[in-house]
Structure 1
Amino acid sequence: MDGIFKSINISASGMSAERFRLNVISQNLANSDTTRTENGEPYRRKIVTFEEVLNGEKGKRKNDFGGVKVSSIEEDTTPFKLVYNPDHPDSNEEGYVRMPNVNVLKEMVDMMTAQRAYDLNAAVINSAKSMYNSALNIGK
């Protein structure tokens, strides 16, 4: 019975990981203009990394793919953008403000990619459910 639901479990792990990624992207977008955080620096873009989940023990046939999980959330180390705005409370002596390293266009592309991956995993689950129901109806 475990093999029957394997594709559903793999797709569900993908949906969960992509939902988490969408939440981080939303956080990046919400903070795209935050010039000062708790540490006094502008907001740094966060990047989500996935890794595969393996079933079974290494070196044996049971060591097969079992889905994905979030392995880390890292801060993007690209430099902050400097914007000339001498009236801003966080501007330096020359009138420049260090802005977050969030590129809204890139975040929107990442959001569309994550949403598409989420939708495809949902389609796999629906297809698997349909196939399982068809298989159950063969004996009728």
Structure 2
Amino acid sequence: MGAFDLLDIASSGLGMHQTWLDALGRNIANANTIRSTDDTAFQAQMIIAEADPRGGVDVAGVALSDPEGTLVHDPDHPLADEEGYVRAPAMDMTKQMSELIMAQRGFQASAQVTKFAQDSYSTAIQIGAR
């Protein structure tokens, strides 16, 4: 392991968690997006993470929720079909909020590791300069 590998590993964690937070933000912002039954529902994004063989984590891809969504009976909605149905996202807000907390904590942990590594490297440079 090289001298700056810890920073690379923590940086990859920051990047993955930021991507996860961005996806969750879009999901939560679109939780109440209603579309007509002729359209596909808003598809929530789920980040797929994988371990990097050199250390750290990478975003392997993004999975999308069911485009069929959920049919909701709301005959007063302007997008309702002749039977009174609209299409809503197939998304569990409880799960989205739980994942938001996990992603925030992961981001905070990665940021703390980055700060610790920077402090350690700075101390080592100061000791070496004496």
Task: Quickly name the TM-score band, shorter chain normalised.
Answer: 0.7 to 0.9
Deviations 1:80-113 (A, max 9, x none): 3333211113334442322111222221211111
Q: Partner residue of 2:49?
A: 50
Give the partner amino acid of 1:105: T
Aligned residue identity for 2:29: A
2:56 is paired with a residue whose SS is strand
Q: Indicate the residue corresponding to 2:58 in structure 1.
A: 69
Q: Percent identity?
A: 32
TM-superposed CA distance for 1:121, in Å, is 0.4
Cα distance per residue 1:64-86 (max 9 Å; x no partner) = x3321111111123963333211
**What does residue range 27-42 of structure 1 map to in structure 2 within 5 Å?**
27-36=26-35, 40-42=39-41
Matched to 1:98, the amino acid is R
The structure whose residues are more often helix, as a share, is: 2
Measure, in 2, the Cα distance between the counterparts of 1:138 and 1:41. 61
* Residue in structure 2 matched with residue 110 of structure 1 by the alignment: 99
Hey, which bits of structure 1, 4+ residues long, moved more than 3 A?
Answer: none
Instruction: Look up the equivalent residue of 1:91 and give its one-letter code.
Output: A
CA gap 1:119/1:7 in 2 versus in 1, 3 angstroms: same
Query: Where does residue 100 of structure 1 map in the other structure?
Result: 89
Q: Does 1:86 align with 2:85?
A: no
Residue 17 of structure 2 aligns with which residue? Answer: 18
TM-score (structure 2 length as normaliser): 0.84
**What TM-score results when the alignment is normalised by the length of structure 1?**
0.79
C-alpha distance in structure 1 between counterparts of 2:113 and 2:43, whole Å: 35
Task: Answer whether contact 2:40 2:68 (CA < 8 A) is retained.
Answer: no
CA shift at 1:26, angstroms? 1.0
Aligned with 1:118: secondary structure? helix
